[in-house]
Amino acid sequence: MNQLQVPIGISNRHIHLSKTDLEKLFGEGYELTNIKDLVQTGEFAADETVSVKGPKGCIEKVRILGPVRPASQVEISRTDSFKLGINAPVRQSGQVDGSPGCTLVGPKGNVELNEGVIIADHHIHMSPKDADVFDVTDGDRVSVHVEGIRELTFHNVLVRVKPSFVLEFHIDTDEANSCLVKNYDMVTVLNKVARLSDLTA
């Protein structure tokens, strides 16, 4: 079985906005302010934040990530879902069909999203060159092993391959806190899912 060392990138709750929703929240012609480039090429943390409201609660100052996208999407943790009262499904980015909505509150207006609130499916960003070395293809599922006092193995981790992608294992704050990792910690990726039958062989 091939193994690869990969750095962790922890995603806190965040929002991707469509141009239309950005303008509803911040005003006509508004453009996001890049305050920090992310590891993935072209992606950035914006200075702008909005509040996310659900039936049970509200989370303020949720960071917007740029650039704008075709559709708005809110990525939260399971912990956040309980606070908001929104039963968000685990989904790949962009696959928001039938997911619940929420209210976004900005300085110039609100947006009622009919769908788009998801818990991100953990995934590994990889260039085609990394994928070749590692012997996986886009859409494969693999296992990721994390050392430490709370040593654990994530299974069913999605591999995403694109020329622009930089090698990085994306997990959310619940997943990071369950094994006490921080950004850029290195973990071991296996090139297939280690099934229970492997564990007990």
Least gap, CB of 18 to a copy of itself (angstroms): 27
Minimum CB distance to a copy of itself smaller for 37 or for 60:
60
Element (H, E) at 65: strand 58-66
- The closest alpha carbon to 116, from 96, 92, 102, belongs to 96
b/e per residue 46-57 (b: at least 16 CB within 10 A):
bebbbebbbeee
**How far, in Å, CA of 104 to CA of 109, rounded?**
9
Residue 19 within binding range of a copy of itself, rule CB under 8 A: no
Interface residue with a copy of itself among 152, 160, 162, 166 (CB under 8 A) is 152
Q: Compute CA distances 193 → 54, 90, 93, whole Å.
A: 35, 18, 21
Nearest approach in angstroms of CB 42 to a copy of itself is 28
Distance CA 190, CA 153 (A): 10
Decide: is 20 part of the binding site for a copy of itself (CB under 8 A).
no
155 binds a copy of itself (CB under 8 A): yes
The least distance separating a copy of itself from the CB of residue 122, rounded to whole angstroms, comes to: 7
x/- track of binding to a copy of itself for residues 107-146 (CB under 8 A): --------------xx--------------------x-x-
Name the 3-class secondary structure at 153: strand
Residues of this chain that interact with a copy of itself (CB under 8 A) are: 1, 3, 77-79, 90, 121-122, 143, 145, 149-156, 173-175, 177-180, 188, 190, 193-194, 196, 198-201
